[in-house]
Chains A and B, each alone.
Chain A
Amino acid sequence: MFHATSWHHSPLTSRRLATVVALLAILLVAAGLLAISVGSVSIPPSTVLKTLLGADGVTEAERTIVLGIRLPRVLLAMCVGAGLSVAGLVFQALLRNPLAEPYILGISSGGTAGTLLALTLSLGMFGTPVASFAGSALVMVLVYSVAQRRGQIDTHALLMAGVMIGAFFNAVVLLLIAIMDRELRHAYLWLMGNLSSATAESTLLVAPFVVISSLFLFFFAKSYNLIATGDEGAMQLGVNVRTVKRVSYLAGSLITGLVVSVSGVVGFVGLVVPHVCRMVFGPDHRLLLPASFLSGAIFLLLADLLARTMLAPVEIPVGAVTAAIGAPVFIYLLRRT
């Protein structure tokens, strides 16, 4: 169902891996500089760079805008995009289904419910991500057990289970909002997937987990290749399939939960980014994983730039932008599966 492209006709080498990662990293830095320089007050990229490097010749106002306002938001966008893309990619490999994605599987909704519950109970800065992770992991387990029949995961059962369990957790979310009506508006915006409340603290909380979890998952990249061709085939090639799956589902849910706790539900990122990466770079997860991480960061960075500049001074939630791009891609993929 996917076509091999000119980029992908011979098996992956460490050299190609290094080249692609370096190129995407350069693109990411460029996109980051662009996103920091654009806004209600535009600051030239050269000034942005100077500010970031701590050089002289920068006004106090510029320093505040760059370091205090835009940098945390840009970094958060990167983390959210990278995390959701990696989680989506891993779920797709394990379920052998290119349609699997944190939002579609309802895992994001579970995370949202967990986050709101934590806010209602005032669990605080560290309690919130933990509750968010618990909500995501719970939905992952539920969807998996509902969609499983005699050890096989049926695509339609999986998608239906994701949508339905997601709908249930959305109902929980609405209920929680009704209880905490004072913050209704804030919560509503947050639900749509929004990075406007980005702070240095939330970025610092999420970034290390997303980076470390992704690095950790990278060590399973070879196993994902084998699992993507079948569980028994992977076992007979020496993979401890049960262990790899358990740990990966857990890490994927952890990433999703953490990301949701700071950004709300940003849908379809984990679908669009791995799909495009697979088309361009081929299906080898040793390349796909770092490529999806970096491309996801770039994608959400640009989507958020669009969200805050398109109708300025009004900001639209970044979740609306990703859904507008992602829903057609999902339908296209569904038609081809």
Chain B
Amino acid sequence: MHALSIEALSFSYHRTVPILREISFAVERGEFLSLVGPNGSGKTTLLRLLDRIFLPDSGSITLGGKPLGRLSRAELARRIAFVPQDGAIQFPFTVYEIVLMGRSPHTRGMAFENAHDRAIAREMMALTDIDRLADQPITKLSGGERQRAFIARALAQQPEILLLDEPNAHLDISHQLDVFRLIKKRNTESGLTVLSVSHDLNLAAAYSDRVAMLQQGTVAAIGKPGDVLTAERIRQVFDTDVLVDLHPLHHGVRVTLKK
């Protein structure tokens, strides 16, 4: 059974500005799928629809065979985690407190997090290499550290599916790799299904099982990175001339600018 199945999904802002037009595809269990495409192609909107932050105009999303609309918000939060692009936080929660928030869909009502929740939070902080920052206020962290704290919070939800919106937006090249490696590790070792919006075609090619390329609210292509990321298609969709060849080390595709 598919982890997620999207059928004829359409969405528009205020029912006038179409963002997604009858999109259909499925995500397999344990798959790492990257969503690429130019700005405004609908990638982030699609993630928001998949976590029911927006509601579609038409079409359907099913999660493990069950329509998304049938799940309560809390149930959804136990199965899908979404790491939005971060905004500034004004209040000095510590990193540990932020990561513990990931346990809230699993704790009942007013209850405090128990030893089990704390153990999971600590595990996720260690995994994202922020355990030494546990007692630091989130307001004092760099963009990259904050990003990892929010990834740790999402992992603490213990979801089946992780949705990431440009996880490398604020990161330097070493931290970009760190984040992709740790998510990939979660993906291969724990079977976490990953859907990631990415602007970096090379990272998408290196880490994804499949790539979906969006263009003006439709899926222009979906498949193995080597089949989707062709020079011809990138010129059509991104309006940019690139050179695509094989990476000398891992033999995946490599995209470079011609100039």
Contact = CB atoms under 8 A, between A and B. Distances in A.
A237 B96 contact: no
24 contacts: A3-B137, A4-B92, A4-B94, A8-B94, A11-B100, A96-B89, A222-B104, A225-B93, A229-B91, A229-B93, A229-B98, A229-B101, A229-B138, A230-B86, A232-B84, A233-B153, A238-B72, A238-B73, A238-B75, A238-B77, A278-B91, A283-B93, A286-B110, A286-B112
Q: Which 9 A-B pairs have the closest CB atoms?
A: A238-B77, A238-B74, A236-B82, A283-B91, A238-B105, A2-B92, A232-B84, A238-B73, A9-B135
Interface residues of B, number: 45
B17 to A, nearest CB: 13
B139 interface: yes
| Chain A CB within 10 Å, residue with most, of B81, B90, B101, B113 | B90
Interface residues of A, number: 37
A238 B112 contact: no
Contacts of A221: 110
Nearest to B98: A229
B97 interface: yes
Contacts of B96: 10-11
Interface in A139-156: none
A239 interface: yes
A221 B109 CA distance: 10
Interface in A275-300: 278, 282-284, 286
Interface of B: 48, 51-53, 72-78, 80-82, 84, 86-87, 89-94, 96-98, 100-102, 104-105, 109-110, 112-113, 118, 135-139, 150, 153-154, 157
B82 A222 contact: no
A157 to B, nearest CB: 16
A240 interface: yes
Given A10-B96, A11-B96, A233-B153, 14 more contacts: A1-B139, A4-B135, A225-B101, A228-B91, A229-B89, A229-B93, A233-B84, A236-B51, A237-B105, A238-B74, A238-B75, A239-B73, A278-B92, A283-B92
Interface in A205-247: 219, 221-222, 225-226, 228-230, 232-233, 235-240
Contacts of A219: 109-110
